[in-house]
Structure 1
Amino acid sequence: MTRCRLCGSAALASVVDLGATPPCESFLAADQLDLPEPAYPLHLRVCTDCWLAQIPPLITPEETFKEYAYFSSFSTSWVEHARTFVDGAVQRLDLGADAFVVEVASNDGYLLRHVVDRGIRCLGIEPSVNVGAAARDAGVPTLTEFLSPDTGSAVRAEHGPADLVVANNVYAHIPDVVGFTQGLRALVADDGWVSIEVQHLLTLIEENQYDTIYHEHFQYYTVASAIRALASGGLALVDVELLPTHGGSIRLWARPAEVAGEPTRRVADVLDREKAAGLQELSGYTEFSARVAKVRRDLLRFLVEAAERGETVVGYGAPGKGNTLLNHCGIRPDLLPYTVDRNPYKHGRFTPGTRIPILPPERIAADEPDYVLVLPWNLRAELVEQLSFVHEWGGRLVFPIPELSIVEVKR
């Protein structure tokens, strides 16, 4: 990687090098375990001209998203988050029965189903064939396609301009930032709105959330770098909200630059926080690598010592972020014999690189392990409640991020 994908600068500085790992959603079937498994460098750098943090685009979105293992509806809290967003957006933008809402990377329809329930016309644009089919089965109109300027223009020509374009947890997933943003502008009405949710680089750095660095995530945004990215497609930031999702996200409210007007005070406040954290100079990034190394040492020490005491540790969840953590730490079935997941698609498969079996959640109650290592730590509140039954045999939960913590749960 020699140049920034947003501004073209060659001034890229290393933030953290996590070695080489397989793609985080490339779960293995049993008959693939004796086959070669490709791994790609996972090295985060930041552009010291526009301050967009990024990894090399070594894997194309077409390779990742033709068939995708992540179904948003399997997270109860995420479906509720989507419902709350739809309720708020309808009220904020006064969306009535004559409105048109488009969601880009609409997954299995987890968000647009709430729009359908309100009788508002909508369309999902989802590149993954399998999850797009699930959305249509749930009654959510869905186009199987990647967003580009041409796709945006074609949708606009067929369906009309969108009053609201939603792009949640996708703005990091596209290597062509400029082309994707131009696609958003092509979709949205000239007086419409674009809402984008994406993880906040500020919390990623401050909370050691390095496991959210993986090959699907090509870039990592501050509000400052997001403003630059939006401008590349003719959009301007109007407002920002700080969200707890994914360990700390930003919701960007943007409009076509011609009608945007002055941004709210909240935009200036977050920009000030980012500047105070040093994220517009190298000083804000220099200690991150050392803190990442400590997470690895602490987790490995815990697993090794538990094994030596004869205690059992199993995993909960098989998210993409978990595979970054498992591969970086070098955790294999001798330290974590299996993990479980609510998604049946993953049952009977194995985690990429580390080859840890993925089983149904019921296995935990059957085995009564001493510890459950929670890999989707960003769902901590939801999972502490879901896993409260481990208290029945004295089991405890382990969260590896932002630092190792062992939690005793009670009903």
Structure 2
Amino acid sequence: MQYVKDAGIRILGIEPAANVAEIAIAKSIPTEVAFFGVQTAMRLKGAGYAADLMVANNVVAHVPDLHDFLEGFKILLAPGGVITFEFPHLLKLMQEYQFDTIYHEHFSYISLLVIRRALFNHGLRVFDVEQLPTHGGSLRVYATHEENTTLQENPAVNALCMEEREFGLESLDTYDQFSKSVVNIKCNILQFLIDAHQNGKVVVGYGAPAKGNTLLNYCGVGPELLSFTVDASPHKQNMLLPGTRIPVLAPDAIREKKPDFVLILPWNLKNEIIDTMSYIREWGGKFVTPIPGIEIL
């Protein structure tokens, strides 16, 4: 937002978390502390706002009332305006068994088919889509008013909708099979950790992300199988992971302990982590990723 402001464009941020809003306000970015929906949109429209661009990055999944949220965009968007939404892609979650990204702060996991239908119900039209690598695979969806014919639909929209249908996202059987596969992945992770323990090998973790907590708690893994994990953030160091109570240490602990295996919990950052921690190969250490299945690198 600060770069848009620097370009001389009028901006406004909407952020329900007061502590986060304070950071933006400290950077001279005008920010409203409010949840976005019909009520907020009506109030802002009454104050003279009509947005040419509305951006909602990694927000959709956190919204408890999707229809109230989307109707707010319909109300506040200027006649020729554009909305962009970014959110983790349900198709990638299913294809790559990213079940550890499912956690309590997310109310929904959305496909292009679903967001397209939901927006249509509010008089909005998807006209383009991009596939992004973030969060294990995300979508950036572009939408505008249904009556705005100046923006033609990119063929990528229908192509991706067809891919989602062919995968089976509109069939309950697909989700049933997914749940069974997740149980098998859990068993394989546990088997790897049990085998390592019984063979006198030391396994530690790298990272303390939300997805790591979901994975470890679902699998029932504690410090008896994962000695500790490390994280570069000083705010997480010398703490315990919630539920599993696995200690979180500074990254230097890996060099001191010289473990046989390092389990990469933020698997979406594995290439960066492997480059940073490549020194574990000095003593024969190996990296392990748990998603979409156990892989020793």
Q: TM-score, normalised by structure 2?
A: 0.90
Change (3 A) 1:266 1:309: same
Structure 2 CA distance for aligned equivalents of residues 129 and 310 of structure 1? 49
Residue aligning to 2:97: 208
2:279 counterpart of 1:389: yes
Matches within 5 A, 1:40-79: none
- 1:394 shift after superposition: 2.9
Residue aligning to 2:54: 165
Structure 2 CA distance for aligned equivalents of residues 133 and 314 of structure 1? 37
> Per the alignment, in what secondary structure is the counterpart of residue 84 of structure 2?
strand
| AA aligned opposite 1:326 | L
Point out where structure 2 has 5 or more consecutive residues left out of the alignment: none
Residue aligning to 1:377: 267
Change (3 A) 1:125 1:344: farther
Match of 2:86 among 192, 197, 200: 197
Structure 1 CA distance for aligned equivalents of residues 256 and 28 of structure 2? 37
Residue aligning to 1:72: none
Matches within 5 A, 1:284-295: 284-295=174-185
- 1:380 shift after superposition: 2.5
Report Cα offsets for 1:117-151 as digits up to 9, x if no partner.
54544333222233333334455443332212122
Change (3 A) 1:388 1:165: farther
| AA aligned opposite 1:340 | V
2:296 counterpart of 1:296: no
Change (3 A) 1:370 1:116: farther
Structure 1 CA distance for aligned equivalents of residues 8 and 232 of structure 2? 30
Moved over 6 A (4+): none
Residue aligning to 1:253: 142
Residue aligning to 2:119: 230
Matches within 5 A, 1:19-58: none
Answer 1 or 2: higher relative contact order, Cα 8 Å, separation at least 6. 1
| AA aligned opposite 2:269 | L
- Aligned identity (percent) is 46
Structure 2 CA distance for aligned equivalents of residues 164 and 344 of structure 1? 37
Structure 2 CA distance for aligned equivalents of residues 183 and 313 of structure 1? 49
Matches within 5 A, 1:285-364: 285-364=175-254
Higher helix share: 2
Change (3 A) 1:329 1:181: same
Report Cα offsets for 1:221-267 as digits up to 9, x if no partner.
11111112212333211111122221121111001222156522111
Q: Which moved more, 1:134-143 or 1:224-233?
A: 134-143
Residue aligning to 1:400: 290
Change (3 A) 1:283 1:352: same
| AA aligned opposite 1:192 | G
Match of 1:220 among 86, 109, 132: 109
- 1:177 shift after superposition: 0.5
Could you say what the CA RMSD is over the residues aligned between the two structures, in angstroms?
2.2
| AA aligned opposite 1:341 | D
Residue aligning to 1:181: 70
> Per the alignment, in what secondary structure is the counterpart of residue 191 of structure 1?
strand
Q: Size of the alignment, in residue pairs?
A: 296
Q: TM-score, normalised by structure 1?
A: 0.67
Residue aligning to 1:25: none
For the Cα contact (< 8 Å) 1:341–1:361, is it kept in 2? yes
2:15 counterpart of 1:126: yes
Query: Looking at CA atoms only, which structure, 1 or 2, has the larger radius of gyration?
Result: 2
Point out where structure 1 has 5 or more consecutive residues left out of the alignment: 1-111
Report Cα offsets for 1:186-226 as digits up to 9, x if no partner.
33222111111111111111111111111111111111111
> Per the alignment, in what secondary structure is the counterpart of residue 301 of structure 1?
helix
Q: Which moved more, 1:148-157 or 1:284-293?
A: 148-157
Structure 1 CA distance for aligned equivalents of residues 189 and 209 of structure 2? 18
| AA aligned opposite 2:16 | P
Change (3 A) 1:121 1:349: farther
> Per the alignment, in what secondary structure is the counterpart of residue 183 of structure 2?
helix
> Per the alignment, in what secondary structure is the counterpart of residue 287 of structure 1?
helix
For the Cα contact (< 8 Å) 1:236–1:255, is it kept in 2? yes
Structure 1 CA distance for aligned equivalents of residues 6 and 190 of structure 2? 47
Change (3 A) 1:276 1:134: same
- 1:277 shift after superposition: 1.0
Structure 2 CA distance for aligned equivalents of residues 295 and 117 of structure 1? 48
Q: Which moved more, 1:185-194 or 1:343-352?
A: 343-352
> Per the alignment, in what secondary structure is the counterpart of residue 239 of structure 1?
strand
